[in-house]
Amino acid sequence: MIDLKQDVQYIKGVGPNNVVLLQKLGINTLEDLITFFPRNYEDRSKPKKINELIDGEEALIDVICASKMNETRFGKNKVILKMLVRDDTGDCVLTWFNQTYLKNKFKVGERYQFYGKVNIKYGRIEISNPVYDKQGINKNTGKIIPIYPLTYNLSQNKLRAIIENGLKIVLENMQETIPEYILDKYKLENINKAIKQIHFPDNFEEYNKARRRFVFEELLTVQLALSSLKTRYDKEIDGIEFDKNVKMSDVINTLPFKLTKAQLKVLEEIDNDMESNKPMNRLLQGDVGSGKTIVSIICAYKAAKSGYQTAIMAPTAILAEQHFNNFKNILEKFGIKCELLLGGTRAKKRSEILEKLKNGDIDILIGTHSLIVEDVEFKNLGFVVTDEQHRFGVRQRTNIIGKGLNPDVLVMTATPIPRTLALILYGDLDISIIDELPPNRKKIETYPVNKNMEKRIEEFIRANVQKGRQAYIVCPLVEESEEYDNFKSAVELTEQYQNKIFPEFRVECLHGKMKQKDKDEIMQKFKEGEIQILVSTTVIEVGVDVPNANIMVVQNAEHFGLAQLHQLRGRVGRGEYQSYCILIYEGNAKTIKERMKIMKETDNGFLVAEKDLELRGAGEFFGTRQHGLPEFKIANLFEDVAVLKEVQALVMEIEKSDSKLEKDENIKLKELVDEKFKDRISI
Ligand code: ADP
Ligand code: MG
């Protein structure tokens, strides 16, 4: 058997210097080496005729050497070699810098293949620093060549040679890591063929098969790991059984509106979880304005009347305050005591709250990060809600949960992500979705417009503000930047609006570099109507409710992801007034126009997210990291959605038939998960 864990230093071609360089790339063992996948490939397999060459492309030519090497020296130690080559369609000049050893390499009249970047100027065709092979040899040309992510001082050729040597060691002897029945069912390449073809594919068809196999394996491993976390929570920990005699309908009947079908369905799912003795771990997804808050209020009622405390954690003070008012309005009449604890809460008040919390005199505590501070102690925390989850790390979720004894947890998010992605992001949670908005909402009118409409937009804002409304303007930048000189910055635009365009109104600026206290103050004044126009960056993205605001203008809308635009749009349309979302964009690219069209025509956040995913492929702005997605070696969650779906269907089957991976046929899967996630899953 091959020792995949052997140190790379024993592999041919790896000297002490290279060991250090390889380590920088995260390569320590033979296994790391052969699973260090290329980031790209160059097709050097198909020669082109000289008269077919295109300026700027990399191309292979099959030619006769037509001149001796011409050598020009200049500067200190600088040499240029030039040589003429020819095929039956034309001539081409090859140029090398400082590679004197090539001087006598080629013989006039003999045939070679060259590969390099084509440069065409005034009809003169040149290829600089080409790699080459003599006719009949396929070392650097005549095949598909892998391109690896590199580190300083390690060349493609060197790394390629080392990886080739690594592959020679494993040859046909790698142990298959995926069970036979899965390979068969999903038509996956076996590991030995795939590992060779992923590095040195015979053709792109073989490459695709190899890649599919590794993508499948990687996604399968992550998904199984998440699934095992979930079953662990489910099966092994005892949670709280909330009182079956406490009826959610008692609150529901006092509300001034009827809950939507979707809200009722979600409440039923949560109610079941709460009454069971397993700790709930549930994600509540719902479009902006779909009414998630009221759902959490009803659940907190159930917790309080069952004798348990609830913690509500929001990402900003403003939101926490907003929640506090909502909770109080609905629950105080039932004798339930709510309190607000913020970072800025005065010391005296704070110690009063902490005291009451410990004694159980407070039923519901609402706050921000302030809740996870050490001296915040609950008497019997039984229910935890985190709002707008993507602003909190998993760590914070765990910290607040730790203040109770296996409390039920509800995670609320308004970032509509397709279910497939939600399963990767929140795979350890059960998912409930509110897929319906309350009735009688006025549809927000969305207008994608060009920059030259700016004056008209300003007049439109003026007309609305004169009628008493308010407007949000969102910019991609805080301050002016040379790098993005066509982007609007919030600071500059505020100045311009306040001093030149809207001197009669109060215009203020809000951005992430400001102190929390200042942000809160400005937001508060906007809420109270003292500020009419709020220019900001995307800091206002998160759930703030200002029903009087009816205009959302997004500058450089082409810069934002669709999901983000949708989220921004959700800031308006919260009151009785007809609302507008104006997307000012630049550029004529087809994708930009298509995306703007989707925004205009689609007001369902989930559809927007699906389309975004479809259009975007390589998720340039989605900001994978920000969403806490795991990092993948080869899978791309945006391009590989189809494989992800297959994997998820498979994992669901396995969850049903063998959730602990104990059957013989699944032993390999267990090894796969243990191997890759042994550190992370042992909680
Ligand atoms: P989000 O899901 O974005 O957090 P909110 O919970 O803030 O949405 O709800 C938005 C607004 O809709 C609130 O003012 C809330 O009172 C109201 N609302 C919630 N559910 C309903 C309903 N079923 N019918 C009418 N209005 C509702
Ligand atoms: Mg909300």
d(CA 208, CA 218) in angstroms, rounded, equals: 15
- Does residue 331's CB lie within 6 angstroms of at least one atom of ligand 1? no
Bridge partner list, 145? 42
Q: In residues, how long is the chain?
A: 683
Q: 521-553: per-residue pLDDT in tens?
A: 898 899 999 999 999 988 765 557 888 999 999
| pLDDT score recorded for residue 398 | 66
- Does residue 260's CB lie within 6 angstroms of at least one atom of ligand 1? yes
Q: Which two tokens stand for residue 365?
A: 């505590």
Identify which of 209, 575, 262 has the alpha carbon closest to the alpha carbon of residue 432: 262
Identify which of 186, 226, 176, 190 has the alpha carbon closest to the alpha carbon of residue 650: 186
- Does residue 543's CB lie within 6 angstroms of at least one atom of ligand 1? yes
When mean pLDDT is compared across 61-65, 89-93, 607-611, the lowest value belongs to 607-611
Confidence of residue 288 (pLDDT cuts 50, 70, 90): confident
What is the best residue among 293, 323, 388, 566 to mutate for testing ligand 1's pocket, by most ligand atoms within 8 Å of CB? 293
The H-assigned helical ranges of 200-310 are 204-236, 249-252, 261-275, 292-305
Q: 312-331: per-residue pLDDT in tens?
A: 998 888 889 889 999 999 99
- Does residue 181's CB lie within 6 angstroms of at least one atom of ligand 1? no
Position 681 pLDDT exceeds 50: no
338-341 vs 309-313, strand pairing mode: unpaired
Residue 471, Ramachandran bin (φ over 0: left; ψ between -120 and 50: alpha; else beta): beta
| Positions of E strands within 6-153 | 40-43, 58-65, 70-74, 78-87, 90-97, 111-121, 124-134, 144-147
Highest mean pLDDT of the ranges 4-8, 468-472, 556-560, 574-578: 468-472
Confidence of residue 624 (pLDDT cuts 50, 70, 90): very low
Q: Which two tokens stand for residue 477?
A: 């930048």
d(CA 598, CA 15) in angstroms, rounded, equals: 55
CA of 461 to the centre of ligand 2 (A): 26
Q: 404-440: per-residue pLDDT in tens?
A: 778 999 989 876 677 767 777 676 778 898 988 888 7
Q: Nearest C-alpha to atom 18 of ligand 1 is from which residue?
A: 291
Q: Nearest C-alpha to atom 25 of ligand 1 is from which residue?
A: 438
Relative to the alpha carbon of 284, which ligand is closest?
A: 1
Burial class for 235, CB neighbours closer than 10 Å (0-12, 13-18, 19+): exposed
The 3-state secondary structure of 81-95 reads: EEEEEEECCEEEEEE
Ligand 1 nearest-atom number relative to CA 263: 23
d(CA 616, CA 487) in angstroms, rounded, equals: 21
**Is the pLDDT higher at 338 or at 319?**
338
d(CA 525, CA 591) in angstroms, rounded, equals: 38
| pLDDT score recorded for residue 540 | 67
CA of 150 to the centre of ligand 2 (A): 44
Give the CB-side neighbour count of residue 265, counting CA atoms within 13 A.
12
DSSP secondary structure letters along 597-619: HHHHH---HHHHHHHHHHHHSS-
Q: Which two tokens stand for residue 109?
A: 């009249």
| pLDDT score recorded for residue 575 | 81
Over residues 390-402, mean pLDDT: 61
- Does residue 296's CB lie within 6 angstroms of at least one atom of ligand 1? no
Burial class for 335, CB neighbours closer than 10 Å (0-12, 13-18, 19+): exposed
When mean pLDDT is compared across 3-7, 9-13, 218-222, 440-444, the lowest value belongs to 440-444
CA 161 from centre of chain:
34
Relative to the alpha carbon of 320, which ligand is closest?
A: 2
90-97 vs 78-87, strand pairing mode: antiparallel
Q: 357-387: per-residue pLDDT in tens?
A: 999 999 999 998 889 888 999 999 999 998 8
Residue 84 near residue 60 (C-beta atoms within 8 A) = no
Backbone angles phi, psi at 141, to 5 degrees: -135, 180
Relative to the alpha carbon of 436, which ligand is closest?
A: 1
Residue 151 near residue 21 (C-beta atoms within 8 A) = yes
Report the chain's mean pLDDT, rounded to a whole number: 88
| pLDDT score recorded for residue 626 | 42
Confidence of residue 574 (pLDDT cuts 50, 70, 90): confident
Q: Tokens 């990092």 sit at which residue?
A: 631
Q: Nearest C-alpha to atom 15 of ligand 1 is from which residue?
A: 291
| pLDDT score recorded for residue 390 | 56
- Does residue 259's CB lie within 6 angstroms of at least one atom of ligand 1? yes
- Which DSSP state fits 531? -
Q: In what order do the strands lie in the sheet with 430-434?
A: 338-341, 364-367, 309-313, 381-387, 408-413, 281-286, 430-434
Taking the CA atoms of residue 181, residue 182, residue 187 and residue 189 in that order, the dihedral angle to the nearest 10 degrees is -100
Over residues 126-153, mean pLDDT: 88
- Does residue 38's CB lie within 6 angstroms of at least one atom of ligand 1? no
Identify which of 199, 203, 209 has the alpha carbon closest to the alpha carbon of residue 146: 199
Residue 287 near residue 372 (C-beta atoms within 8 A) = no
Identify which of 485, 544, 542, 474 has the alpha carbon closest to the alpha carbon of residue 509: 474
Look at residue 70 and give its three-state secondary structure. Answer: strand
- Does residue 414's CB lie within 6 angstroms of at least one atom of ligand 1? yes
What is the best residue among 258, 265, 290 to mutate for testing ligand 1's pocket, by most ligand atoms within 8 Å of CB? 290
**Is the pLDDT higher at 234 or at 102?**
102
What is the best residue among 257, 326, 432, 568 to mutate for testing ligand 1's pocket, by most ligand atoms within 8 Å of CB? 257
**What is the b/e burial string over 561-577, where b = at least 16 CB atoms within 10 angstroms of the residue's CB?**
bbbbbbbbbbbbbbeeb
